[in-house]
Structure 1
Amino acid sequence: MPTEVALLESRALRIEQMGRVDALDKVKSLVMLPDGIHVRTEDVARYFEVSTGAVRRLTDRHQEEFTENGMRVLRGSELRSFHSDMMSLWGGEEGESYPQAATQLRLFTRRTVLNVAMLLRDSDIARCVRTYLLDAEQEARAGYASLEHRVTRVESCLAGVGAALQELGPVLGRMSHRLDSLDRRLEVTHQVVGAMSVRLTGVSDDIARLDGRMDALARGLKDLNRRNRNR
């Protein structure tokens, strides 16, 4: 479990937490510029309740890291173009004008502001953000541990099922052998029944022929008796 000191000192740990920008609004509302994407140095200082000088010194010391996480410094035509875009979006009260920087403007994204929270030592707000990140990390780790425990239990159950199937293997093999034997016996029985059916068919034909002979013999006897009476 990482500590607050580790988060302050380790860039690798900060990179792991960089996607958790939701932590900012969990602690305090962050007021954005009209584009809803950027904030100025003054806005960052107001959020963390520190001076603008403290924010500038921090960003100067870690300029590479902040730049990688979205910090920009606008000058010249790029600055004028940005101000023009912001003025078109500005919805301030009547008489209130959009605040414009004179020569340069340092812009932060929510990701960069979170980066500030993980580096700014002398701010209660920054400490609250770090605490939220660490608590969320601990809850996530607890959730992973619980999930891993459940997976282990399932694997244990499956191992038991596997052992049971191994024990059932010989039994199933014997049952399969017996079923094959029954199938062969049934096939022999079918053959016997078929042969008996053929024989019975022959016997029926013989009986039919015998009936025909008996009828012919009976007619012959009747004719013979009739001739004897006529004499």
Structure 2
Amino acid sequence: MPTEVALLESRALRVEQMGRVDVLDKVKSLVMLPDGIHVRTEDVARYFEVSTEVVKKVTQRHRGEVSENGLKLLRGDELQKFHRDMLSLWNGEGAESYPQAATQLTLYTRRTVLNVAMLLRDSDIARCVRTYLLDAEQDLRAGYASLEHRVTRVESCLAGVGSALQELGPVLDRMSHRLDSLDRRLDATHQVVGAMSVRLGHVAEDIVGIDGRMDELARNPKDLNRRRDKRS
């Protein structure tokens, strides 16, 4: 896990943390300009409770890095346009109190302020911001470790399931053959039952014929006697 010193010294580590601008408001409220996007050098100094000269020295020493993270220097027409935009957004009667830089204005975004927090050594507020970042990093790493452990356990369980399925394969194959054999036997049984049904149908017809003859003989007993005499 990175330490506070490593964060102060390593630009690569600072880059990894640049998305955590939410940490700023957890430590202290950062007062923005009316656009809700920018702050001035004085506002940054007030946030970190240091002088404006300290902030300027840090930004000058790491000019390339802070510029990549939103630092702007406005002059001329660009500066005048920015002032007009800010005045149009200013609410109430305080518009006349909006401070307008005469020749140039340095602007910071939340991302730039976070960058300064990871560079500024002599500020308790900056140290608190770094502590929040490092604690969040530790919690994130712990979460990843827990997730990795769970994934490992799931993979282990799946490996066991795979082995069990491999062992069940031959058993299922034998069961399939037995079921096929039972199906064939059932087909043969159905055929026998069908044949027996046909024969029983014939027998029933014969019985009906016999019953008819017996009824006829019962109605004509003389015919029965004549048949007996013929046989004798």
Q: How far 1:96 moved relative to its partner?
A: 5.7
* CA displacement 1:24-53 (0-9 Å, x = unmatched): 111111111111111001101111112212
- SS of equivalent residue, structure 1 residue 73: strand
Residue 83 of structure 2 aligns with which residue? 83
Q: How far 1:190 moved relative to its partner?
A: 0.8
- SS of equivalent residue, structure 1 residue 58: helix
Residue 190 of structure 1 aligns with which residue? 190
Aligned residues with identical type, % of pairs: 82
Aligned length in residues: 225
Cα pair distance change 1:59/1:95, threshold 3 Å: closer
TM-score (structure 1 length as normaliser):
0.89
Q: Work out the CA distance in 2 between the residues paired with 1:163 and 1:121.
A: 58
Q: Work out the CA distance in 1 between the residues paired with 2:93 and 2:2.
A: 45
- Letter of the 1:155 counterpart: E
Structure 1 stretches lacking a partner, 5+ long: 226-231
Residue 170 of structure 1 aligns with which residue? 170
Residue 16 of structure 1 aligns with which residue? 16
Q: How far 1:220 moved relative to its partner?
A: 4.8
Structure 2 stretches lacking a partner, 5+ long: 226-232
Q: Work out the CA distance in 2 between the residues paired with 1:223 and 1:45.
A: 139
Q: Work out the CA distance in 2 between the residues paired with 1:94 and 1:183.
A: 93
Cα pair distance change 1:94/1:109, threshold 3 Å: closer
Cα pair distance change 1:2/1:159, threshold 3 Å: same
Q: Work out the CA distance in 2 between the residues paired with 1:144 and 1:73.
A: 40
- SS of equivalent residue, structure 1 residue 79: helix
- SS of equivalent residue, structure 1 residue 168: helix
- Letter of the 1:130 counterpart: R
Q: How far 1:120 moved relative to its partner?
A: 1.4
Cα pair distance change 1:65/1:217, threshold 3 Å: same
Q: How far 1:178 moved relative to its partner?
A: 2.0
Q: Work out the CA distance in 1 between the residues paired with 2:111 and 2:94.
A: 32
- SS of equivalent residue, structure 1 residue 106: strand
The equivalences for 1:211-226 within 5 A come to 211-222=211-222
Q: How far 1:223 moved relative to its partner?
A: 6.7
- Letter of the 1:80 counterpart: Q
TM-score (structure 2 length as normaliser):
0.89
Report which stretch shifted further, 159-168 or 148-157.
159-168
Report which stretch shifted further, 74-83 or 94-103.
94-103
Q: Work out the CA distance in 1 between the residues paired with 2:16 and 2:209.
A: 102
Residue 229 of structure 1 aligns with which residue? none
Residue 57 of structure 2 aligns with which residue? 57
- Letter of the 1:140 counterpart: L
Q: How far 1:218 moved relative to its partner?
A: 4.3
1:127 aligns with 2:127: yes
* Matched-pair contact (CA < 8 Å) for 1:41–1:55: yes
- SS of equivalent residue, structure 2 residue 121: coil
Q: How far 1:123 moved relative to its partner?
A: 1.5
Q: How far 1:174 moved relative to its partner?
A: 2.3
* Matched-pair contact (CA < 8 Å) for 1:41–1:52: yes
* CA displacement 1:184-214 (0-9 Å, x = unmatched): 2111111110110011111122222333333
Q: Work out the CA distance in 1 between the residues paired with 2:112 and 2:94.
A: 32
Cα pair distance change 1:30/1:166, threshold 3 Å: same
* Matched-pair contact (CA < 8 Å) for 1:92–1:98: no
Cα pair distance change 1:158/1:181, threshold 3 Å: same
Q: Work out the CA distance in 1 between the residues paired with 2:127 and 2:92.
A: 32
